[in-house]
Chain A
Amino acid sequence: MQSPANDVRYLRITGPQTDKSEIQGDKRRMIESSMQLECKNMTFRYPGTDTSVFEDLSFHMAGPGFNALFGPSGVGKTSIARMLIGDLEDFSGQLQTRNIDRILYSYNLERLPGWSAVGKHLERITTPEQQAKREHLVDLFGMTPYIGSRFSQLSLGQKNRINLIRYLLQDFQMLIMDESLANVDELTREKIIFNIKALFPDKFFIYISHNIIEVSKFCRDILVLTGPGKKRATAVVRGQDQHAGQSLQQQHLETTMLEIMNAA
């Protein structure tokens, strides 16, 4: 009998898949040009284990903007990220992206090489056209005083900020941020997320976090993953997707958080 893990159907679609006769005009153009991430009936378990990380997982997210993967440790958030970048391929079901060609994945344990200062590393990975953008990001992320320091001399939060800056300087359409702002204080984190939203309005971000307030506040679609054995494996909750300058009603935020907690 063929195991589900052998039935690999990893599909990356760059063109439209919708039946064109059904949808007309502006709406069709909008769908065709928008970024989509869709997962259908996906099941995955690590080789050599009997327990599935998730079973029959289906969800849909649309970009650009901030969307989130939320759930306790071990429910498969990082596994989904690794499937998206092609690191894990032994899964069954479909994982489709539309109008997203270049996906990057950053995580909070990454390090920069220790042989030169972080500023030098950033210079080397930046094209001449992006020098101004680099300086702007370094300034916005509050890293200007530390640009001459070695990576090992930075605090955990500073390390994560520098790491995120170098990803933001790359050519990408989707950036998966796996706890990329861990150990950064709340105010700075909020400022950084608002700035990313303002500076990269046409990019698709997948924000992986354990912080329920954060995902409720800043993200639009929040995929809530639950561990195996739960009755309902996943749910997509609509977040508040707050931008800089926008006020946020406490009641709405609490409703979102409650929905996430109910789904988890």
Chain B
Amino acid sequence: MLHRRVYQFFIVFGLGLALLLCIKYALSLSNYVIPGPLEIWMTCREVTGRYFADVMDTMRVAIIGQVLSICMAGFIGIVGRQTTWLGSFVKVAAYNVQAYPIVALAPIIFILLGDGFISRLLIAAMICYFPLLLSVLGIMAEPVRDIEHFYRMTGRLRWQLEVKIRAFENIGKLTTVVAGSATLAMAGTIVAEFIAANAGIGYSIRIALYQSDLGKILVALFLIGISLSVYQGLLEWLGAIVRKAWENK
């Protein structure tokens, strides 16, 4: 699972880089526009250590943001699964609010909270939260009638059991959604850093952009991609362990 994700990333990144170099040589572009392999290698040796620390900083924020999102989406999803007035209200509100692009709100967050950790965390959590919420809501609001019927008939279906049944029956979907949301959390953090923050790999990419240094950007992309692949692979692996443990308990 983990190694599959990593080698898939190597293939995709390799293909992207090859395409870029093909364009460079086909159009005879200068090293200033698209650096050659040697320049990229030199840049890589120069900035990898610093960029790796930046990626880890970004990832730390993304992971905390993702955990927050999972907790919030779980809570709201459980409340919103009900067919009551409150449940319907939460569902409608979630569908409507998620239609608004969170990135557009980012400047307000930076103005109000400054360009530090909290702003990055908040934007990462918000970008990750809504897609996660919609998936959790969809799963939790869908009754598993063939299992729930008996408990409903005999008056044993408390909310904890209902949530447990629905989570168990959809554990594969939930694991996939959580692993997928890691990309969103990372993207949210990078976007936040790119807009206004003063740390993280997004901030480094912004500086590289001002310097028009594509080599640095490529190194940053490689480090982001490889770190994210490893993280997602770990999440999938953890999900498989949880599923196996639950099924064999």
* Residues in chain A within 8 A of chain B (CB atoms): 85, 104-107, 109-116, 125, 150, 163, 166-167, 170
Contacts and interface: CB of A to CB of B under 8 A. Distances in A.
Interface size class of B (residues with CB under 8 A): 10 to 19
Contacts of B168: 113-115
A107 B147 CA distance: 11
A113 B165 contact: yes
B154 A115 contact: no
A119 B87 CA distance: 35
9 contacts: A105-B149, A110-B147, A110-B150, A111-B146, A111-B147, A114-B247, A125-B156, A166-B150, A170-B154
A113 B147 contact: yes
Interface string B116-160: 000000000000000000000000000000110110011010000
A105 B149 CA distance: 9
B79 to A, nearest CB: 22
Nearest to A117: B249
B246 interface: yes
B169 to A, nearest CB: 8
A85 B153 CA distance: 9
Nearest to A105: B153
A14 to B, nearest CB: 19
A154 to B, nearest CB: 14
A170 B146 CA distance: 18
Given A112-B147, A113-B165, 6 more contacts: A109-B146, A115-B164, A115-B247, A115-B249, A116-B249, A163-B150
Contacts of B146: 109-111
Most buried by B among A115, A125, A163, A167: A115
Given A115-B168, A115-B247, A110 B154 contact: no
